């Protein structure tokens, strides 16, 4: 998957949070369903060549900051890995109401 810069992870995190504004529990498969259409749209939105990985890292960093939690789902992704739910927590709702500083970092 390679190295992902903070700026891509931050953009991905804000995209996830905006999606959670309208739906407080979404599956990761929303962003990674194995289709070119979903990949291309996400690549365009994030301006990053491996957007699914950026989303996955963003979710992990949002989880570390207490804005979301994840839970395994019973279905598998197109790569055979388990899908997971991304659920907005109280701190995430607070951020959506009145954004505060979040911290992101480069990751692999």
- Taken in order 31, 108, 82, 67, the sign of the CA dihedral is negative
Q: What is the pLDDT of residues 48-92, one digit of tens each?
A: 999 999 999 999 999 999 999 999 999 999 999 999 999 999 999
Beta-bridge partner residues of 69: 87
Fold exhibited by the domain 6-97: Arc Repressor Mutant, subunit A (1.10.10)
Token pair of 17 as six digits: 């949070």
Sign of CA dihedral 68, 29, 106, 98: negative
pLDDT at 24: 84
pTM of structure: 0.94
pLDDT tens digits, 7-53: 999 999 999 999 999 998 999 999 999 999 999 999 999 999 999 99
CA triple 55-58-64, angle to 5 deg: 145
DSSP state of 108: -
For residue 43 the two structure tokens come to 């690549």
How many residues are listed for the chain in this entry? Answer: 108
DSSP state letters, 90-103: HHHHHHHHS-----
Q: What is the pLDDT of residue 1?
A: 57
Domain boundaries along the sequence of the chain: 6-97
């Amino acid at each position: 998957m390679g190295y992902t810069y903070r700026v891509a992870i931050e953009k991905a995190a804000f995209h996830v949070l905006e999606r959670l504004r309208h739906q407080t529990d979404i599956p990761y498969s929303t962003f990674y369903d194995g289709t070119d259409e979903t990949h291309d749209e996400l690549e365009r939105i994030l301006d990053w060549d491996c957007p699914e990985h950026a989303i996955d890292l963003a979710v992990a960093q949002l989880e570390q900051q207490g804005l979301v939690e994840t839970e395994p789902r019973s279905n598998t992704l197109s790569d055979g890995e388990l899908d997971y739910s991304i659920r907005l927590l109280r701190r995430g709702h607070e951020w959506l109401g009145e954004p505060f500083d979040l911290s992101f970092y480069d990751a692999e």
